[in-house]
Structure 1
C-alpha cells in the first residue's frame, strides 16, 4: 500500500508540473488587452457591474476631475449609516442584529411590533428539522466548520417541501429560515468536530426561541450555556457590522452571479459560503490572530513602542512571521482613512478587555494600529494611505469571548447570511440577465497532433 501511495504522489506531482507550465500567462498581456483583473481598475476602484439598493461602502469620493478623494469610512445599510444603528441599539440597551436583518430584507427599519413579530418567528423556526443533526451533521463531521455549514445548507434542500420554487415569497421563506438556523448549524458542526475530530466532549443544547441569535450562539457552544450581558452585546455588535458590505464583495457578488443563473436558494447560499471561506475574504481574521501570536511571542515588552515597531519592520521586510511582507488587518480595498467597523468594534472591545483583564493585550493592538501605517510607508515607500480594518480587532474580540478560532469565519457567515439573502432577492426581482463577463483567449490555435506523433513534455 505504501508503494502504491508513493507512486500516486509521484504521478500527481508530474501532472502538477505539466498543469502549472501550461497555465502560465504573460503578465504583459493583461495590460495589452486592458484586462480589469479582479474586476478592478488600476487605481483599485471596482468595475461597475450592477446596481443595488441594499448597502454601500464609502471610503472615497470622486472629484469633478475624476480623481479620488479619501474620506472617513461609512458603512450604509439601506440608506442608513450603520453607526446610527449601533448607537440606537446601545441607547435602547437592545440587541440589534435581528433589526439589521429585517432592514436588509425589507428595506425599512421595523417598528417595535414588526420587530417583535419578526424575532418571534425567527425563534420559532431556529431548531433544525427532525433528525437533521443526527443524520446530516453527526454522521459526516468535518474538520472545517465552513464546509459543514455549506453541506448542511445543501442538505436543507431535501428537507424543504418546495425547494425549487423561485417565487419571491418562497425564496424569502427559505432565506429567513437560513438566517435563523445558521447559528444552530455552526454550533452543532463545531460540537461534532469537538467529538469526532478533536476527541473532546460534545455538548448539544437546544436553541432557546426567546433568545436572539447572538445569545443563542453563545449558549449553544458553551458546555454550561452561561454568558454575560456584555459578551452577548459585543457578539451582537460583531454580527451587525458583518451583516452586509455592499454588492461588490466576493461572496455577495457570488450570490448575484449564481442567482442570475436561476438556481435554487440553497445552491446560491452554499456558493457564497465557499467564497467566504477563502483566506482572502472571510478567513482574514484568523491570519491576524496567527500574526499577533507571533508578535506576542517575539516582543518581550508589549508597552515598548520601539520594540513593537522594530518587529513590525521585520515583518514588512519579509524577515519574520510568514515572510510575505504583509501586516494582516491593515488596509482595505475601499476604506482609506478609517474602517467604521474597526472603530466601533475597538471601542466596545475595550469594555470587555477591562472586564476580562486583557488591557495589556488590547493596548498592544492599539499601539500597532497607531504606528503601522507609517512603518508600512517607511519600509515599502508606499504613500497610499491605509487604515486598520475590521479583521484586526474581530479575532481579538472572539478570543476574549472564548470562541474557538475554527468558528471565526462561521461567525462571519452567521452575520452575512442576512446580506446574502437580501442580494439574492434583489437579483431575482431586479436582475436583468445572467452574468457573462468576457475572457480573452490568449492561446492561439494549433494543428492537431496524432497520437503516434506526440512527444511527452
Structure 2
C-alpha cells in the first residue's frame, strides 16, 4: 500500500484543516433539542421503531415514576432465563433460540430436529472458498476477515439481490450456519500466516451443536467437556439478541430499509459490532483484570481492591480512561440478567478449571465497583455488572483466543440480526432517514485566484 510519508507536512495541514472545519459547539445540541446519540436528556433511547422480537427491561413504573428493578430480557415474549433453564440438558439451546427468534414460537421436538438438520447441511464451505477467500490476506482482526468473507458469499449466491422473504430466509439460514466456520477458519489462517502456528481446518460434525463445533474446530485435539460446551451454548444464547435499539441491530434495520442485499446488511451489523464501544468491551474487561492482578498483591483484600479501583476511576491506573469496564448499562439498573446467568456458569467452569481464586476476584470487583462508581459520579440509579464483565473470563477459561471474543458475539448476534432484517422486510417499512439540522453558514462562491486559504 502506498504511503504518504513524502507529503507528511502537507498531510499534517490537511488533518488540522479537517479537525478545524468539522468541529462545532456541542452546546448546539441542547439549543436545538437534538437527541444526541438518539438518547434523551435522561439517557433513554429515542423510540425509532417497533419490534416483537425481544424486550429489554431494566426498570418498572411505581406510582407514575420509573424505579430501578432487576433486569429481564425476553425473546419473543419468553424470559431468557427460563429459556436457558429449559434447555439445561441440551447442547442445542442456541439453535432452539434461533428458531424462536426467526419464527416467533418455540419449536416442537420434531421441528427442532428438522431445523438442526437444515443448519447442519448448510454448515459447510467449499475448499475453493476457504483457499481463495479466507486464506488470502488474513487480517489480524477476525471481524474484518468475517466481513470480507461474508461479502464474498454474495458472489457464490445465484440470487443475491432478491429481497423476498423466502429468499432472505434462505440466505439467513446459510449465514447463521456458516458464520461459525468463517470465524474459526479465519482465526486458523491468521494463526498460521501471522503467528506461525499450525493451521487446522476441520470440517464441522453434523451431530454437533454450534457450541460443540466451535470448540471442535478451534482446538488442536478437538476435545472438550460437556460443561465447556454447555457454557459456550449459554453464552451464544445470551448474545443472540438484545432489542432493536442496540447499535448493530439498529444498523441492520437502517441498511435493510434501503433495500440492500442480505450479505451487505449483515456485514453492516458486524462493522458496528466491531467497535470497542459495542462488541469489544469484554476484551477491555480482560485486559483490565490482567492489570488489576498485576497491581493488587492480595486479591481477597477488599480495601486494597477498592483502592485500586478508585485509582482506575480517578484516571490514575490501567488505561487512564476513568472507566471500570464491564460495569454499567444504558437500560439495566439493579442487574443485567445476562451477567447474572453467565456468572453462575462462570463459577461452575472456574471450579472445573481450578480457577476459583480468579472468579472470587471478579466477584469482589463486581460487588465493590458499583458503589464506588455511583459515589464518585454522583449517580442516582445503581450501577450493575453487564454481560461483558464475565463473558471474557468465560472465553478465556474455554481457551478461546482473544481475537475471537468479538467474533463469537457476532456469530450469536447473526441470529438476531437476521430476525430483525426479516421483520423490517415483512412490515415493509419506509427507508429510515432521520434528520440532521444544519448549523453552518451559507457562503458566496469565491473564485480560485481570490482565495486566501483561510476557508480551509
Which of 301, 305, 319 is residue 322 of structure 1 equivalent to?
A: 319
CA contact (8 A) 2:91 2:209 kept: no
1:332 is matched with 329
TM-score (norm 2): 0.97
Shift of 1:187: 0.3
Inter-partner Cα distance in structure 1 for 2:182 and 2:83:
27
Inter-partner Cα distance in structure 2 for 1:130 and 1:433:
40
Inter-partner Cα distance in structure 1 for 2:8 and 2:53:
48
2:36 is matched with 37
C-alpha deviations, 1:283-311, integer Å up to 9, x for none?
A: 11111111111111100111111100000
Which of 198, 201, 218 is residue 198 of structure 2 equivalent to?
A: 201
Which of 64, 73, 76 is residue 75 of structure 1 equivalent to?
A: 73
2:172 is matched with 175
C-alpha deviations, 1:5-28, integer Å up to 9, x for none?
A: 533333332211111111111011
Which of 108, 112, 120 is residue 111 of structure 1 equivalent to?
A: 108
Inter-partner Cα distance in structure 2 for 1:125 and 1:107:
22
Which of 86, 89, 102 is residue 88 of structure 1 equivalent to?
A: 86
After TM superposition, the structure 1 = structure 2 runs for residues 337-356 of structure 1, keeping only pairs within 5 Å, are: 337-356=334-353
After TM superposition, the structure 1 = structure 2 runs for residues 56-455 of structure 1, keeping only pairs within 5 Å, are: 56-63=55-62, 65=64, 67-90=65-88, 92-455=89-452
Inter-partner Cα distance in structure 1 for 2:58 and 2:196:
46
CA contact (8 A) 2:91 2:233 kept: no
Inter-partner Cα distance in structure 2 for 1:157 and 1:6:
37
Query: Secondary structure, in 3 states, of the residue corresponding to 1:234?
Result: helix
Query: Secondary structure, in 3 states, of the residue corresponding to 1:76?
Result: strand
Q: Which runs of 5+ in 1 are unaligned?
A: none
Inter-partner Cα distance in structure 1 for 2:90 and 2:410:
25
Shift of 1:378: 2.8
Inter-partner Cα distance in structure 2 for 1:97 and 1:339:
19
CA contact (8 A) 2:91 2:229 kept: no
CA contact (8 A) 1:141 1:192 kept: yes
Q: Which runs of 5+ in 2 are unaligned?
A: none
CA contact (8 A) 1:129 1:159 kept: no
CA contact (8 A) 1:353 1:362 kept: yes
Number of matched residues?
454
Aligned alpha-carbon RMSD (Å): 1.4
CA contact (8 A) 1:54 1:423 kept: yes
Change (3 A) 1:435 1:5: closer
Query: Secondary structure, in 3 states, of the residue corresponding to 2:87?
Result: helix
2:51 is matched with 52
